[in-house]
Structure 1
Amino acid sequence: MRVLNIISGKILFGKRVFFLSSCACAVFFGIVKIDPVVAAVQFDPLFINKTTGSEIDVSRFNGEYKILPGIYEPDIYLNQQLVGRQKITVREQEGKSIICMNSPLVEKLGLKLDSQYQQKAELLKQPANCLTLQELIPAASMRLNVSDMQLDVAIPQAFLLRSAHGYVDPSLWEKGENALFANYDTIYFQQNNSRSSTESFYGGLQGGMNINGWMFRHNGALNWDKDSSGHYSTFNNNVQRDISSLQSRFLLGDSNTSGALFDSFAFRGMQLATAEQMLPDSQRGYAPVIRGIAQSNARVTVRQNSSVVYETTVPAGEFAIDDLYPTGYGGDLQVTVTESDGRVSTFTVPYASVAELIRPGRYRYSVVMGTVRNQNIPWSPKVFQSTLQYGFNNWLTGYTGLMGTNDYYAALAGGALGTPFGAFALDITGSRFSDGIDERQGSSLRASYSKFISATDSSISIAAYRFSSSGYLDLHNSVLLADMNKRGREKIGQQPFDLPRNKFSLTLSQNLGNERGQLYASGYTQNYWGQASRDTQYQLGYNNRYQRLSYGLSVNQSKSLGRNETQYMLMLSLPFGGAMHSPNLSSYTTRDSRGISSQLGIDGILGERDQVSYNVGLVKDAENNNSGNISGSYRFRDTKLKGGYAGGRGYHSYSAGLSGSLVGTSDGMIASPYTGDTMAVVKAEGAAGASVEGYPGVILNDSGYALVPYITPYRMNQISINPQGLPLDVELQTTSQQIAPYSGAIVRLNYQTTKGRMVLIKAKLPEGKSIPFGAVVKDSNDNDVGVVAQGGLIYVRLNEKTNRLKVKWGSNDEMNCSFDVNLKSNDGNVSQRKFERLDVTCG
């Protein structure tokens, strides 16, 4: 027996949608008889309550669901997960709709066909053949929903090749629309005190243009103050394009290197580098491959620090798990293999990570050619850099790099090890500088270590040591030295800048157990060649929570150039109440060489759509001067307004500004209070007032458009429209879609709508009987517009003032009647109109 839900006037059965009365909530629609081969459906009318009418016609719902023969290109859902889009062929054989398998579809589904199916699989290569999925895998099933253009496939896991968690087929990545966009952030600031006043304005701009997958990006800012004229600064301009086949991104223009192996620097030129964003989350970062042998169909459970982080089933034989999500700096993995007969075996896989480690078989590369930028020198040295990392196996990653300018070059080689004792990385960099005036060469040794000690719940996040010889120069110092020599410094050996000698840094954390909080420590120390001074900085802290009160204590000390500063801090945070919009009270008390200062603040959010944020604070500084401040923002549909005021003894200041984004497409300009780089333009004609789920304040404008920010590149993003707020004369045909954009793309999502006045008709035959339940309702163009519900009720949407509707029933629609619907004149307030109700006689 199957229960059918009737929601908002729709009956949903399988993939068919029928409009019925909105007055019922559920109905038993009889016993559904489904032939497992032909999927024929038979409804038994005896299970329907006949008190609503003596005539019941469900014959039109009987029989097998058929699809017109032809070629379709649906979204393919494998075991309820979207895996791609593929062309398929539907044929009719012996009165049945048959979906033909082909080689690309087999590859898309990732079928693992053993030897007994290989002969049938060869037949797929012959276009004249039409093999069904059941002929290849009898336990599988497939169904095409033409209305949603969706192919639902169910296949047992044993017949599928493994794919990484979160994998999205690159064929689904969308390059998006040709579009212009601009993110803006402006602020006007004025300060007045007893001696002077200042005024300034800042306007930041990040914008670009997308054309056929090419992306131009600009970043700049306008600065103005009342004492000098305004000027616009350009930070960078570049053009980018993804190369998905290489999992890389090509960039031409201004940018910065990643700093993964060599120190980061700004350049103008060309870069081709691995885009790790393109990998599934379960393939990014470092995690070991777990290998083992199962004696039967077995369940494999992976735990880390007593928590289950992965579980799957594997067939008998050797297995490999290579799609673990990275988990910070690690912690050994305990693997449990549970066999079909209940036998259990366990083993441990060491897991510790440093930044240089990558997964076995993976590589990461970067090539940069151009000139060095932003070094505060009047010339631009040419520069070249290339780096490569490769994961040989679970415990070894090798890496190397080359860098050079006109006067300088450096080479790096090293390796990272993952061991039961922790993760280590060791590399050496050699450099040589020669510009005809100075000549220097040297080396720099770098070592790092990371380990999570599960027995004590302790984490050594990173411990790093670096030693550089006196002749070693990094790129930054080599450029400074070359510039000084160009400007006439000819005395070799003069030291124009600090040269690091030794540097050691350490970060530790220790959990103290339930309700005892956490201790942490971090710091570094560094000395220099030719100097007796040393830079040292460290921080010690403790965090805990008592009921709803969070508190923390910390001490910070900094020693540099003979200055010694120690600061103590107490932090308290307490929410007022447990409601979603409850304000939060926070307090910071600091003691340093100047005395004791304290801050007390309250912050929170308000509004049905979280559109208001606020912060109120009081400050008492070390000189016992009191001041106060208030700030907040209001998110409108198209922009965000922010402002603030601060005042104290002898001064006051205020600020105000706007932030948001603008996107221009072929349809016009769309505004949003949010900013972003990868965005979606949602269009639903006539759906003004509806909102986008998960994005507070993103509401469709009067033209039915909205701009959705923060779309995750290369991942499936589900964008859903909440119909609450829709005009009553508009209905969404679908409320949710999925999209996987390229990074920086502006994609379009069209949501089909139906517009018409809602009419609830109670129709009777001339003799007073109700029209049979299940009879089909058609308009004057013979289009299906509804189905008769209980008691002769008909729900329809009508666009015209006058309509003629026809009702048909019987095994071959041999019974029919018709009637006219005359609607009242539209008073211009359709969005507030409720159901129009009519009583008619169908003759």
Structure 2
Amino acid sequence: MSKPAKSNSARSLSGNGTGGINLGPWRLRADWQGSYNVNAGYASRAERRFDWSRFYAFRAIAALHAQLMRGENFFSADIFDSFRYLGARLLSDDNMLPPNLRGYAPEVTGVAKTNAKVTISQQGRVLYQTTVAAGPFRIQDLSSATNGTLDVKIEEQDGSVRTFQVTTASIPYLTRPGQVRYKVALGKPTDFQRRSQGPAFASAEFSWGVNNGWSLYGGSILTGGDYYALALGIGRDLLALGALSFDITQSRAQLPGPGFLILNGRSYRLSYSKRFDEYNSQVTFAGYRFSERNFMSTAQYLDARYGSGNIGNSKELYTISLTRQFISLGLSAYLNYSHQTWWNRPSNDNYSLSLSRYFDLWRFKNASVSLSAYRTLSNGYRDDGFYLSMSIPWGNGITLTYDNQTSRTGTSNMVGYFDRLSDGDSYNLKVGNDEHGQASGSAYYTHDGSLAQMTANASYQDATYRSIGMSLQGGMTATAQGAALHRINLPGGTRMMVDTDGVGGIPIRGYGTTVRTNLFGKAVISDVNSYYRNAISVDVNDLADNVDATRSVVQGTLTEGAIGYRRFGIIAGEKAMATIQLTDGGTPPFGAIVSNDAGNQTGIISDNGSVWLTGIAPGALMNVRWDGKTRCAIRLPEPLPDLTHPLPLQCRPHHDQTNHEVKH
């Protein structure tokens, strides 16, 4: 919610997510996104929008090391551009390959002037949405399946909106010798309102590892005679010199008009990547592409024939990134430059530079200073920005900061106080002046909980605006074994449900996160990896005194989108010495095992029936076993007596355990 100084207040609510059901090997999913906006005033009118942006189903086909997907999808290829379609797709799944053969996930960088909402979308579908604090941000957790042109929107709390595009391209990929990777798709293109656009199409793409150094790749898209595209390329591992690929794409498009307009054109692409270990640097020259005037991608053809009718095609496109670590100076540098031109409109250029250095300042260790600068040239409009930040650790999770931000509208200066709380939560307070020289302040709070991740923020600028906001990100998983709320990593992704035998509050460690089981002893770990053996464990160092873990580690390998189920061995209850006597006056033999109803061992009998018993609860039933058979059972008293003295118990056959028989 925001309140500009000279106009009515405005409220907005937005969200996006994924719902789904797993039926055997099939994963049924539905993506949704919605928004609600209202401006207060005499003629105020709420704007509501809710869309089911995609319905689809997929499954793994282990015999082919591939994934089959049906329904609404976005065309995903390493060679061709993306577009929306309804149909089916079969592709060799990179997640089933070793990590060094998988594609990379594109990253999005920028600078927020205030606490801002960042939305990343593609052809109207929201892929990622988050809030960021004022200053530079770097989003690196996009799906590795994301490719093509991404639309990035930064909505500042002062009401200003900035948009730009990020064009992703695959770095040179090589295929193992003798291995073939492929993608096949059939369907009909559609728009965001699910209206059919154009004739049916068929596409195929492959990559063949010819030998240790060479890979051959190519593909085609064919429609009902109006459009086709053919591509062929080659990749080469240059060993110490890096990796290089080059491909050519030929297109033919027939557009309506007098005599039908037929356009034939070619597009050339060169990609290079190299890691210089001796210099601690990485250079990526990702996707230099030159397209002739008459070349048309499938998305451009669909837009020209069934959309806006614009046939203005791209000319040049390239992105260069450089990462360098200057270890002796403690300096890290990141440089990114992208350039895109069209045949009939102005070019776009994006520059970004980040420098950061850690150092010791007097008694303060690991102080840091960072510099970020950017320049965007789009359609003749120039936007420059400069951000300088310094942080000084003050101890006990406290950090003092200073930020200076300069843009075409002015310069702001802010001093801040950051504190990380004992439960992992953190907050950030800043005060200073905005770019117009007026008093300004902001607050940002982050809560990383077991059930969800929450952020809350507030901003104030004198005589300009006041605003508050909150974001919540989480999910719910329900199975035949139970249900639990939880944090999410990738909506609709792979997860593991764990069971602690009905004992709540048990700390469970995933990959970088710790969650606690709910009242029913269930928890969901959402950061598991597909096609990996995932190990999940109980944090035994954080268990309560009356809880023991007899099985504290579980493992599982899951296919993409699966929901696994594993059970820990947890014993909750008091601990005390006890003596167990049989009905004939004897005692169980030395080494006999005592276990609870869940089958977890609660004690081992020693001489004269003595046992150190765990999991003692009023009225609980425990079994005693020796020689491989369950011989008798004991019923604990209800209520429990004083446990400072050995607890006398009698072991009776199961059919005698209808009442709470105990020996006092």
Normalised-by-shorter TM-score class: 0.7 to 0.9
Counterpart position of 1:670 = 484
Residues 441 and 821 (structure 1), Cα distance of their counterparts in 2 relative to 1, 3 Å cut: closer
CA contact (8 A) 2:595 2:623 kept: yes
Counterpart position of 1:629 = 442
The one-character-per-residue Cα deviations of 1:4-46 (angstroms, maximum 9, x if unpaired) are xxxxxxxxxxxxxxxxxxxxxxxxxxxxxxxxxxxxxxxxxxx
Identity of aligned residues (%): 22
Secondary structure of residue in 2 paired with 1:576: strand
Report the more deviating stretch, 403-412 or 551-560: 551-560
Residues 401 and 836 (structure 1), Cα distance of their counterparts in 2 relative to 1, 3 Å cut: farther
Counterpart position of 2:144 = none
Secondary structure of residue in 2 paired with 1:514: helix
Counterpart position of 1:592 = 407
Matched, 1:449 2:272: yes
1:746-761 to 2 correspondences below 5 Å: 746-753=563-570, 758-761=575-578
- CA deviation after TM superposition for structure 1 residue 214, in Å: 0.8
Counterpart position of 1:126 = none
Secondary structure of residue in 2 paired with 1:680: strand
Residues 512 and 190 (structure 1), Cα distance of their counterparts in 2 relative to 1, 3 Å cut: closer
Counterpart position of 1:564 = 382
Secondary structure of residue in 2 paired with 1:503: strand
1:105-144 to 2 correspondences below 5 Å: none
Residues 363 and 602 (structure 1), Cα distance of their counterparts in 2 relative to 1, 3 Å cut: farther
Counterpart position of 1:370 = 187
Q: Distance in 1 between matches of 2:359 and 2:65?
A: 48
Return the match for 1:720 from 520, 537, 541: 537
Return the match for 1:691 from 507, 512, 515: 507
Residues 691 and 787 (structure 1), Cα distance of their counterparts in 2 relative to 1, 3 Å cut: closer
- CA deviation after TM superposition for structure 1 residue 800, in Å: 7.9
CA contact (8 A) 2:172 2:271 kept: no
Return the match for 1:467 from 282, 290, 301: 290
Question: Which has more strand, going by share of residues?
Answer: 2
Report the more deviating stretch, 659-668 or 427-436: 659-668
CA contact (8 A) 2:433 2:440 kept: yes
- CA deviation after TM superposition for structure 1 residue 359, in Å: 2.7
- CA deviation after TM superposition for structure 1 residue 700, in Å: 1.8
Secondary structure of residue in 2 paired with 1:794: strand
Residues 254 and 574 (structure 1), Cα distance of their counterparts in 2 relative to 1, 3 Å cut: farther
Secondary structure of residue in 1 paired with 2:173: coil
1:696-775 to 2 correspondences below 5 Å: 696=513, 698-722=515-539, 731-753=548-570, 758-761=575-578, 775=590
Indicate the structure (1 or 2) with the bigger Cα radius of gyration. Answer: 1
1:507-546 to 2 correspondences below 5 Å: 507-515=321-329, 517-530=331-344, 533-546=346-359
Counterpart position of 2:128 = none
Residues 470 and 658 (structure 1), Cα distance of their counterparts in 2 relative to 1, 3 Å cut: closer
- CA deviation after TM superposition for structure 1 residue 745, in Å: 0.8
Q: Which runs of 5+ in 2 are unaligned?
A: 39-44, 105-169, 361-365, 628-632, 651-662
- CA deviation after TM superposition for structure 1 residue 737, in Å: 1.1
- CA deviation after TM superposition for structure 1 residue 397, in Å: 0.9
- CA deviation after TM superposition for structure 1 residue 510, in Å: 4.2
Q: Distance in 2 between matches of 1:806 and 1:648?
A: 71
- CA deviation after TM superposition for structure 1 residue 238, in Å: 0.4
**How many pairs align?**
553
Q: Distance in 2 between matches of 1:443 and 1:220?
A: 37
Counterpart position of 1:655 = 469
Matched, 1:607 2:419: no
Provide the TM-score with structure 2 as the length reference: 0.73
- CA deviation after TM superposition for structure 1 residue 807, in Å: 12
Q: Which runs of 5+ in 1 are unaligned?
A: 1-188, 287-352, 490-495, 765-770, 813-819
Counterpart position of 1:681 = 497
CA contact (8 A) 1:758 1:836 kept: no
The one-character-per-residue Cα deviations of 1:339-360 (angstroms, maximum 9, x if unpaired) are xxxxxxxxxxxxxx94232332
Counterpart position of 1:837 = 646
Secondary structure of residue in 2 paired with 1:698: strand
> Residue type matched to 1:442 in 2?
G
CA contact (8 A) 1:728 1:834 kept: no
Q: Distance in 2 between matches of 1:377 and 1:704?
A: 43
Return the match for 2:25 from 213, 222, 243: 213
- CA deviation after TM superposition for structure 1 residue 674, in Å: 4.3
Report the more deviating stretch, 431-440 or 772-781: 772-781
Counterpart position of 2:301 = 478
Matched, 1:276 2:85: no
- CA deviation after TM superposition for structure 1 residue 250, in Å: 0.6
> Residue type matched to 1:693 in 2?
R
- When the two chains are superposed, the root-mean-square deviation of aligned CA atoms in Å is 4.1
CA contact (8 A) 1:661 1:673 kept: yes
- CA deviation after TM superposition for structure 1 residue 516, in Å: 5.3
Q: Distance in 2 between matches of 1:613 and 1:564?
A: 36
The one-character-per-residue Cα deviations of 1:484-529 (angstroms, maximum 9, x if unpaired) are 6xx9x7xxxxxx3532223344323444451252444332334332
Provide the TM-score with structure 1 as the length reference: 0.58
CA contact (8 A) 1:661 1:675 kept: no
The one-character-per-residue Cα deviations of 1:150-194 (angstroms, maximum 9, x if unpaired) are xxxxxxxxxxxxxxxxxxxxxxxxxxxxxxxxxxxxxxx354533
- CA deviation after TM superposition for structure 1 residue 541, in Å: 4.4
Return the match for 1:439 from 241, 244, 262: 262
Q: Distance in 1 between matches of 2:517 and 2:606?
A: 33
Counterpart position of 1:550 = 368
Q: Distance in 1 between matches of 2:635 and 2:209?
A: 74
- CA deviation after TM superposition for structure 1 residue 626, in Å: 2.4
Q: Distance in 2 between matches of 1:528 and 1:785?
A: 74
The one-character-per-residue Cα deviations of 1:540-571 (angstroms, maximum 9, x if unpaired) are 44332223122233443333333334333323
> Residue type matched to 1:733 in 2?
T
Residues 445 and 573 (structure 1), Cα distance of their counterparts in 2 relative to 1, 3 Å cut: same
Q: Distance in 2 between matches of 1:221 and 1:483?
A: 25
Secondary structure of residue in 1 paired with 2:328: coil
- CA deviation after TM superposition for structure 1 residue 396, in Å: 0.8
1:3-18 to 2 correspondences below 5 Å: none
